[in-house]
Amino acid sequence: MDIYVYYTIRTADAALARQRVDALQQRLNAGYDIRAGLRRRPEEKDGLQTWMEIYPAVPAGFEDVIERAAAEEGVSALAQGRRHVEQFVEVAPCA
């Protein structure tokens, strides 16, 4: 299963958010042997950016691990509104 977590942050908080997400993902990558990623929409709106954390091939229930770590690393505190968690399973591999 892959997990995608998306949320908005203020553009003014982008540098701090990047540091915190990097720390979060380094922690999870090392502790769970995964390869997390980070993306954002190219456009900004009203001083906000939409970011997406990507966690490929993680076990069931891993969203709880992500959210606990996000709170501990201070990522959740920078989100404007809630962090949305989506889960997807592979139908076919990328060609």
The pLDDT tens digits for 47-73 are: 999 999 999 999 989 999 999 999 999
Instruction: Kindly state the tokens that stand for 23.
Output: 């720390």
Model's pTM, two decimal places?
0.92
Q: What are phi and psi of 43, to 5 degrees?
A: -95, 160
How many angstroms separate the CA atoms of 76 and 80, rounded?
Answer: 9
* pLDDT band with cut points at 50, 70 and 90 for residue 95: confident
